[in-house]
Amino acid sequence: MNELMDKIDKFLKELDSSKMVLDIKDIQEKIKKDKELSSLLEEYKSYPKESLKEEILEHPLFQEYKIKETELNLFIMDMNQRLKKISNSGKCEHENH
């Protein structure tokens, strides 16, 4: 069990330093530095209006972030499916019903 936990820790460290995660962190920093987009996001948090939402969604930096976020979410879903297959592979046939 310790060997498995060590491998999971190693995997998570590698994931944290992966291009996918680093790209998201980089875009988050760009968003924080972008005064226009940051202002829109703060305003939307206080006063959620459809017009603000549309303006945020149209911003190229926000679109880039959403693309990267979607890629990461798809990766996580794939990992979850693989883990589910692994955990189910050791069960008896009648346990799956």
Distance CA 73, CA 88 (A): 22
- Report yes or no: 31 and 61 within 8 Å, Cβ to Cβ: yes
Nearest to 25 by CA among 35, 16, 34: 16
pLDDT of residue 92: 60
pLDDT of residue 91: 66
Domains in the chain: boundaries: 20-84
Residues 32-84 have pLDDT tens digits of: 999 999 999 999 999 999 999 999 999 999 999 999 999 999 999 998 898 88
Residue that wins the pLDDT comparison between 46 and 90:
46
pLDDT of residue 8: 85
- Report yes or no: 61 and 69 within 8 Å, Cβ to Cβ: no
pLDDT of residue 95: 52
Nearest to 71 by CA among 11, 17, 23, 9: 23
pTM listed for this prediction: 0.76
The phi, psi pair for 18, rounded to 5°, reads: -75, 160
Query: How many CA atoms within 13 Å lie on the side-chain side of 29?
Result: 6
